[in-house]
Amino acid sequence: MTDNTAQIASLNHLLSAGTIILLVIGLIWLVAIIANWKKGEGAKFLPRVANYVFPIGFITSLAGLVGSLYYSEVLGILPCDLCWFQRVFLYPQAFMFAYAWYKKDSSVLAYSIILSTLGLLIGAYQHVMQLGYSVYRPCSTAPFAVDCSTPTFIEYGFVTFPLMAVVLFAILILIAVTHKRFAKRQ
């Protein structure tokens, strides 16, 4: 086992554990939003999170940007076509949230919801396909192309790169919805 292989395995394991933790947090967060939707007040943490959406969104999207570039450019794991589409919907968000954080401009959240929803749908489709539930294979059949239906890795029996993207996009959607619904208006 080379150092690179050990590093990839360790990083996959660490990021997969983080994905599961974020998935649980996201589900609790979603339940809190649904339970407190009509009240407008929200659980104690919802208004607090609503006031910090720009740094949270920036850090979340930047982590996805840096992580995906690290895997492809440093570790040499090439992204497939669907992964590139997910990147298209993720990468601009780091810059959007940085600008919104600087300007305190919440109008960026509507764009984030649209971009994140499209990225989430592509990631969810690819995740289901990688787990073997799709007959249709949308990727190139060229011998040098990366197959979208073949997972690079599967940790804990279900965590793949597309699931990581789904969770990341879901968190971005949740922070935007939380701000729109629960932010204290001045």
User: What digits encode the pLDDT tens for the residues 20-60?
Assistant: 999 999 998 898 888 887 765 556 778 878 889 999 999 99
Cα(59)–Cα(114) distance, integer angstroms: 19
Pick the range with the lowest mean pLDDT from 35-49, 62-76, 152-166.
35-49
Residue 186 pLDDT > 50, yes or no? no
The answer to whether 126 touches 138, Cβ cutoff 8 Å, is no
Which pLDDT band holds residue 134 (cuts at 50, 70, 90)? low
Task: Enter the pTM of the model.
Answer: 0.88
The reported pLDDT for the residue numbered 176 is 93
Region 157-162 average pLDDT: 86
Distance CA 30, CA 71 (A): 30
Residue 111: the pLDDT is 95
CA distance 27 to 94: 23
